[in-house]
Amino acid sequence: MNLFNVYPLFNINPVKAQGSFLWDDKGEKYLDFYGGHAVISIGHNHPHYQSRLKEQLDKISFYSNSVQNELQTELAEKLGKLSGLEDYNLFLCNSGAEANENALKLASFHNGKKKVLYFSGSFHGRTSAAVSVTDNPKIVAPVNYDERFIKSEWNDIEQLEKIFEKQGNEISSVIIEGIQGVAGIMIPTAQFLSKIKELCEKHNTVLILDEVQSGYGRSGYFFAYQEFGVEADIVTTAKGMGNGFPIGGVLIHPKFQASNGLLGTTFGGNHLACVAAIAVLDVMKDENLLENSKKMGEYIENEIKDFPHIKNIRRKGLMMGIELDRNCTEVRNSLLYNHHIFTGNASDNRVLRVLPALNIKKEETDLFIVALKTVLQNL
């Protein structure tokens, strides 16, 4: 059997990782400045993460959601404390798309409405409803198109108001990324978020904050939207939550009523996933990673901001989009093949996406800074 060929692959085969570095099968060392799409939050193979998972493997890896699982309770408590959302309730699943799928469904169960408003540039995942509110026609199959999903322009208050004026009473939820990642690090304005919140409240519409990429400390806040002081009804998370172990979460405001069977999953919240997520939270707290994210992000931006060919830098914490004056493919390839540094791209091909681990060290950021300067100077 062959693999279903949907991923364009770099010709690199990583076989070992530690902290912010990877090694391939030929023993070549790479600096990871992308974390496999924002997944590596506490660095590869963190000793605390490794030992929690290994210990758990020797105890129990999985039993279904029909029995008690104290690890889920521990995770919910720790997540509530660190995120400041202590009175929210947690539903555990396996990925970002699944978290959003459940959020959209829960909103609709809650208010009985059918329409969803989303924004240009959005990426919310590839499952049915999540992909319907994703602004990329290439990945939306005919079966996923429906007029119930309404697109509004990013940061455009006027259009938002017009849509709500006409259809507000039918809109079940608004889904928005805390910071748009795939689009190239697009940050919402404070006024835009406040207006969304105001309109949601007025029309009994649920506000869903997708923090799958911008969450878990990446922006320097636990969730990126928290910088703006707006209250979310539902927050979704995944990626950095398990540092590579698949896990997603839906954080649900206490006004939502749970009932048996309303949501469910076979694998979500299993023992191994929970210890992975608990270990991530422990490390984030013990190593003060929100602070490091702010500090290192600021340091990198200051060092690179005057480099040639950089038009604009959009950044919060260690979520950074470096917009060049051209397509960034050559720069990205040169960083990877000539300097052994992984970075990412975005749907806007001029944007280099930089998402290192939140515990990246200054000397590691310097490797990136020096390499980027060399590459840009030689264009």
Binding site for ligand PLP (CB under 6 A): 37, 95-97, 100, 123-125, 177, 181-182, 210, 212-213, 238
| Residue placing its CB nearer to ligand PLP in the complex, 241 or 279 | 241
In whole angstroms, the minimum distance from the beta carbon of 58 to ligand PLP comes to 28
In whole angstroms, the minimum distance from the beta carbon of 220 to ligand PLP comes to 17
Which DSSP helix (H) or strand (E) runs through 174? strand 171-177
| Residue placing its CB nearer to ligand PLP in the complex, 181 or 269 | 181
Helix (H, G, I), strand (E, B) or coil at 241: helix
Distance CA 60, CA 64 (A): 12
Quick one: tokens of 353? 């996406």
Number of residue whose CB is nearest ligand PLP: 96
| Residue placing its CB nearer to ligand PLP in the complex, 129 or 275 | 129
| Residue placing its CB nearer to ligand PLP in the complex, 21 or 119 | 119
Helices in the chain by DSSP H: which ranges? 35-38, 47-57, 70-83, 96-111, 128-132, 157-167, 190-202, 271-286, 289-304, 329-337, 362-377
In whole angstroms, the minimum distance from the beta carbon of 288 to ligand PLP comes to 25
| Residue placing its CB nearer to ligand PLP in the complex, 37 or 151 | 37
| Residue placing its CB nearer to ligand PLP in the complex, 210 or 364 | 210
Contact between 97 and 175 under an 8 Å Cβ cutoff? The reply is: no
In whole angstroms, the minimum distance from the beta carbon of 35 to ligand PLP comes to 12
Quick one: tokens of 39? 């997944």
| Residue placing its CB nearer to ligand PLP in the complex, 174 or 375 | 174
Of 213, 150, 153, 226, residue with least CA distance to 177: 213
Helix (H, G, I), strand (E, B) or coil at 139: helix
| Residue placing its CB nearer to ligand PLP in the complex, 49 or 119 | 119
Q: Is 225 left (phi over 0), alpha (psi -120 to 50) or beta?
A: alpha
Amino acid at 221: Y
In whole angstroms, the minimum distance from the beta carbon of 194 to ligand PLP comes to 21
| Residue placing its CB nearer to ligand PLP in the complex, 37 or 314 | 37
Quick one: tokens of 324? 């060049």
User: Residue 305 CA to chain centroid, in angstroms?
Assistant: 25
In whole angstroms, the minimum distance from the beta carbon of 227 to ligand PLP comes to 17
| Residue placing its CB nearer to ligand PLP in the complex, 168 or 246 | 246
Helix (H, G, I), strand (E, B) or coil at 80: helix
Which residues have C-beta within 8 Å of that of residue 291, sequence separation ≥ 6?
A: 220
In whole angstroms, the minimum distance from the beta carbon of 130 to ligand PLP comes to 7
In whole angstroms, the minimum distance from the beta carbon of 273 to ligand PLP comes to 13
Quick one: tokens of 210? 């997708």
Amino acid at 321: G
In whole angstroms, the minimum distance from the beta carbon of 37 to ligand PLP comes to 6
- Spatial strand order in the sheet of 89-93: 89-93, 248-252, 234-237, 206-210, 171-177, 115-119, 149-152
In whole angstroms, the minimum distance from the beta carbon of 312 to ligand PLP comes to 21
Distance CA 345, CA 155 (A): 22
